[in-house]
Amino acid sequence: DTAVSQTPKYLVTQMGNDKSIKCEQNLGHDTMYWYKQDSKKFLKIMFSYNNKELIINETVPNRFSPKSPDKAHLNLHINSLELGDSAVYFCASRPNQMDEQYFGPGTRLTVT
Amino acid sequence: AQKVTQAQTEISVVEKEDVTLDCVYETRDTTYYLFWYKQPPSGELVFLIRRNSFDEQNEISGRYSWNFQKSTSSFNFTITASQVVDSAVYFCALSEGPYSGGSNYKLTFGKGTLLTVNP
């Protein structure tokens, strides 16, 4: 009965490759997010979708493209991976603007 | 624009000491929400508390307590009688209210405070 799940948990890949991270929430929340946590633990929002509509796109390179096939899923596709993309990526969902966000377990991406 | 400052990068205490983690925020909104999250060494983000801008009552939950002061734009977190299991990175976060346009959908996080509790 995992609330917010992400796959894979670990992802090691080479520069230049294209990869995807999947996120699913079974909480019935309308809003989903992607965050990037760098090596210094700084958490920064990347994207937010509300009912499959893009709400927030925080100056993320075009190589990153979120896709929300339905309200329960928000996937992140990354093209032409670079060393600087190495980080932990967290998916989150939220029922409405007043509530806390529920985070997935994170996906540690390592680009070599 | 909203901003959260956690000036303490790292704190180290000995078990059973009390410790306070500071959080100062900036927002132009009159309606906003404040949060604390814990990130233990295992890496997951654990929600601790939410506070809205209209509720300045302090809150206590076991060994945890929170002091919200709008006058100083602070939302500080105190752990009483700290334990080794409290060792984690603690994040303070801010979300603006429903009339802020798109920004009301996002949490802005502080840079976190690494708390190490030594036995």
Q: What are the tens digits of pLDDT across the range A47-94?
A: 988 888 888 888 789 999 999 999 899 999 999 999 999 999 999 998
CA–CA separation, B20 and B25 (whole Å): 16
Alpha-carbon distance A73 to nearest alpha carbon in chain B (angstroms): 17
Q: What is the pLDDT along chain B (119 residues), one digit of tens a residue?
A: 789 999 999 999 999 999 999 999 999 888 889 999 999 999 999 999 999 898 888 888 999 999 999 999 999 999 999 999 999 999 999 987 655 554 456 789 999 999 999 99
Query: Phi/psi class of residue B18: alpha, beta or left (left: φ > 0; alpha: ψ in -120 to 50)?
Result: beta
C-alpha atoms less than 13 angstroms from C-alpha of B37 in its C-beta half-sphere: 22
For B7, B20, B111, B116, the CA distances from A37, given in Å and listed in that order, are: 19, 24, 10, 20
Tokens 């100083």, residue?
B72
With beta carbons less than 8 A apart as the criterion, state whether A19 and A78 touch: yes
Say whether B37 sits in a helix, a strand or coil.
strand
Mutant choice from B10, B45, B94 vs A, greatest count of A C-beta within 10 A: B45
- Name the DSSP letter for residue A104: -
User: For B73, which DSSP code?
Assistant: T
Please tell me the predicted confidence (pLDDT) of residue A60: 86
A27 touches chain B (CB under 8 A): no
Across the interface, of A42, A45, A90, the residue whose CB is closest to B45 is A90
Q: Report helix, strand or coil for B77.
A: strand
Question: What integer pLDDT is reported at residue A35 of this predicted model?
Answer: 95
Q: What is the C-alpha separation between B27 and B29, in angstroms, rounded?
A: 5
CB contact under 8 A, A33 and B114: no
Across the interface, do A98 and B105 touch by the CB < 8 Å criterion?
A: no
Q: What pLDDT is recorded for position B103?
A: 47
Closest Cα in chain B, distance from residue A37 (Å): 10
Residue A56: the pLDDT is: 80
Chain B interface includes A68 (CB < 8 A)? no
- What is the reported pLDDT for A102? 92
Considering only CB atoms, B89 lies closest to which of A41, A48, A101, namely: A41
Size of interface A-B (CB pairs under 8 A): 59
How close A15 comes to chain B (CA, Å)? 25
CB–CB contact A56 B109 (8 Å): no
| Distance of alpha carbon B114 from alpha carbon B19, whole angstroms | 12
**CA dist., res. A23 & res. A21, Å (int):** 7
> What's the pLDDT score for residue B4?
97
d(CA A78, CA A66): 9
Tokens of B30: 């009159």
Please judge whether A106 and B105 are an interchain contact, meaning their C-beta atoms are less than 8 angstroms apart: no
What end-to-end distance do the CA atoms of chain A give, in Å?
34
**Band of pLDDT at residue A106, cut at 50, 70 and 90:** very high
Residue of B nearest to A32 (CA): B105
